[in-house]
Structure 1
């Protein structure tokens, strides 16, 4: 089952990365009417959420800076950003290396029970599946934003 989950995650991740490639700074930082965030925010949000779900960010991982939680966590928005906001190149590189770390998760980890149910998931494998779904959800949002921005 873990191979199927990792395969799905890879597919979802590649679709997300295809949506965000080749965009200019104006497109990345525009917030079209009817949308709560920017494409740059979506990139950082997917990265940060995956890191929280799968690697215990910010307590148990050193792969992304702790301030990403304030920039990209649930309920955050670019209008409130202050200080150092990472470049899109930095965020997409971190997403790519994150996928490589996800692929290295040992198979037995997927069957582990979570300390408490999270978003309906009872096992780590179910949480990985939710993270893949979450990334796919944001892929659709970015696609919609691009359509509005390219009108």
Structure 2
């Protein structure tokens, strides 16, 4: 699991670069022909991780219902994300790694509800969920790199 956490932290550091390299206006820009933006993708991977790991383990998530409603699968931006909301996402992007790693080390994940993702990946265990989370975040990172060329 150490490698899974290491890969996840590396990925999240790459996501952090978007906060340093793009303005609030750029983070919110939806290029023609697209249905989301850079900041939505960041919010989405945060929500997806919490759902995959915590909700899948029948545990409470560390994010608000409002964030879930804004960034869960199937959503798209409904308006610009404020600087306050961007700051919250930036903080969650990194803090949730330490929280999740600590919870894992404490052994709080005792059960996992099997399911198949929308992409057809069967999650049979917590380990599967962690692996899929890294895969999912990699997909969105690649999408964001392409999207950023249009901003």
TM range (shorter): 0.7 to 0.9
TM-score, normalised relative to structure 1: 0.81
Q: Let me know the Cα RMSD of the aligned residues.
A: 2.9
Structure 1: which 5+ residue stretches go unaligned? none
Hey, what's the Cα distance between the residues in 2 that align with 1:77 and 1:143? 18
Q: What residue in structure 1 maps to residue 85 of structure 2?
A: 87
Where 2:113 maps in the other structure, the secondary structure is strand
Q: Which residue of 2 aligns with 1:134?
A: 136
**Larger RCO: 1 or 2 (CA < 8 Å, sep 6+):** 1
Structure 2 equivalent of residue 114 of structure 1? 112
8 Å contact from structure 1 (residues 9, 129) kept in 2:
no
Show CA shifts across 1:2-36 (max 9, x none).
Answer: 11211121122222222343310110111002222
Tell me the matched-pair count. 146
Q: Which residue of 2 aligns with 1:30?
A: 29
For 1:108 and 1:129, the matched residues in 2 are separated by 20
SS at match of 1:70: helix
With the length of structure 2 as denominator, give the TM-score of the two structures. Answer: 0.81
Unaligned 5+ segments in structure 2 are none
Q: Deviations over 1:24-63 (max 9, x none)?
A: 0110111002222011111111111111111228x73352
Kept in 1: contact 2:55–2:61 (CA 8 A): no
